[in-house]
Each structure stands twice: as C-alpha cells, then as structure tokens.
Amino acid sequence: MEEMVNIYFAGKLYTVPAGMTIMNALEYAGYKHIRGCGCRAGFCGACATIYRIKGEPELKFCLACQTRVQEGMYIASLPFFPTQKQRYDIEEVKPDQSVMMELYPEIYSCIGCNACTKACPQGLPVMQYIAYAQRGEYEKCAEASFDCIACGMCSARCPAGITHPMVSLLARRLNGKYIAPRSAHVDNRVQEVLNGDYDALIKELADKPEAELRDMYDHREIEK
C-alpha cells in the first residue's frame, strides 16, 4: 500500500499519500482550487503557503505546488496578499534615490529583522535588496531580486509594512530603462516589427490549423 501521512488544513485532519505536493494533496482531500493555484511550476507565486510541523516551533514558508507533504504538517494558504503598488510613469521617474523616498518611503523604516528573507520561498536575500534600494543601488537590487515571483510572503511578515515585490519591480524597471546597456539586436528587431516586416508571416501563422502549429512548435530549432 502507498505510504500515507496525516496533514491538517483549515483545522481539519486529512490522510494523504506521502509523495504528493501540498497542492495535489489538498485536491486528493477534496478541495477544488479556485484561488491559490496558477502555473503549478513554481513561477507565478499564486500558491504561497505557510506551514508548521507538529511538535516543532518554526514557522515555514513555501509554494504549495513545489513542496511535498510531511507527517504532522499544519497548513495555511496565503493565495493573495494585497501589497501596495504605487502608480508612476517609467518615462518620467529617474534612477536616483529620491524616487524610492517618494514612492516607497516605508523601506526606510526597515528594522533589519530579516523576516522577509526567511519568508521567501525562492531563498532570495530580500532584506539585502531592500538595503540596495534604500541606497539607490538599483542595478544591485535588480540583480538580487531577479527571481522574485511576487508571492507576497515577505510583505506578509514585515513589521514595517514594506511592499518588497513592488520595490524590487521598480528597481528592475529603472535598471532596464536607464542603467543596463541597451541591446542593439533587440532594438533592431523592435524596429523591424514596427516597420511591418513580420506582418505577412504573422498572418500566415494565424491561418494555419492548430495541429500544424503544435507540430512546428514541437520541432522548432532551439538556440543552445
């Protein structure tokens, strides 16, 4: 027989197969994911989850689609956390320290508790990239936060109310717009698209049957 483990969700005990992810185990238990389920591949951040193992004091953070169930796991889902996103025009803001002071002044209230870093399911140095943002070092902030999936668990744990994913998103946009060197081949390709060089090809693809498109995709040449 398959090995089974006991987990708790919403205060109720369920016995599920040991090899399942948290997401699959909840479906096995009868739950239908209407919220808190997205790509199922660890990229979208929709299935942010908090759990604790029975008898252990540590609170742990993960993505439900990437984490396997354990015996005595108490699970709480955090499918959405309402982080504050400020409005701005990337053409008007500049990559200086004042932009963070204006849009996200709460970052200067960071108390250095490192709860954000501990909560990150990607293992990112969240407190460190916020420190980069404080100093206006947007290139470093963009690099350190590059794999952020905006699940919001860092913000959920922050006593200072910092919206880390939105801060890092602004830093990456500033870096891409003003700091990182421009890519000539991308500029050329964009201009070709604007000139209509690919209009005929796009129409040709749009007229193909789905089966043929799938076959073309499956046998496409992949750059090494």
Tens-place pLDDT, residues 45-97: 889 999 999 999 999 999 999 999 999 999 998 877 778 899 999 999 999 98
Give the CATH number for residue 45: 3.10.20.740
Distant-in-sequence, close-in-space partners of 206: CB < 8 Å, separation ≥ 6:
none
Q: What confidence score (pLDDT) does residue 116 get?
A: 96
Distance CA 120, CA 130 (A): 13
Q: Are residues 145 and 195 in the same domain?
A: no
Q: Are residues 66 and 102 in the same domain?
A: no
Banded model confidence at residue 1, pLDDT cuts 50, 70, 90: low
Q: Are residues 20 and 72 in the same domain?
A: yes
Residues in the chain: 224
* More reliable by pLDDT, 46 or 22: 22
- Averaged confidence pLDDT in the chain: 92
Q: Are residues 154 and 191 in the same domain?
A: no
Q: Are residues 191 and 174 in the same domain?
A: no
Pairing of strands 73-77, 48-53: antiparallel
The string of DSSP letters for 63-116 reads: ETTT-B--TTEEEEE------------TTT--SSHHHHHHH-GGGGG-----HH
Pairing of strands 4-9, 73-77: parallel
Q: Determine whether 42 is exposed, middle or buried from the number of CB atoms within 10 Å of its CB (0-12, 13-18, 19+).
A: middle
By C-alpha distance, which of 89, 85, 90, 106 is closest to 179? 90
Q: Are residues 106 and 41 in the same domain?
A: no
**Owning domain of residue 118:** 97-179
> Is 40 contained in some domain?
yes
> Is 88 contained in some domain?
no
> Is 39 contained in some domain?
yes
Q: Are residues 132 and 197 in the same domain?
A: no
The label of the residue with tokens 């081949």 reads: 185
> Is 83 contained in some domain?
no
Q: Are residues 54 and 111 in the same domain?
A: no
Mean pLDDT along residues 154-164: 93
- Answer for the pair 95, 136: CB distance below 8 angstroms, yes or no: yes
> Is 89 contained in some domain?
no
Q: Are residues 154 and 197 in the same domain?
A: no
C-alpha separations of 42 from 83, 150, 203 in Å: 20, 11, 34
* More reliable by pLDDT, 33 or 178: 178
Beta bridge partners of 7: 14, 73
By C-alpha distance, which of 32, 30, 1, 28 is closest to 16? 28
> Is 142 contained in some domain?
yes
Q: Are residues 193 and 140 in the same domain?
A: no
Report pLDDT digits (tens) over 118-157. 999 999 999 999 999 999 999 999 999 999 999 999 999 9
Q: Are residues 175 and 191 in the same domain?
A: no
- Answer for the pair 15, 4: CB distance below 8 angstroms, yes or no: yes
Q: Are residues 58 and 117 in the same domain?
A: no
> Is 44 contained in some domain?
yes
- Answer for the pair 9, 64: CB distance below 8 angstroms, yes or no: no
Number of domains in the chain: 3
> Is 156 contained in some domain?
yes
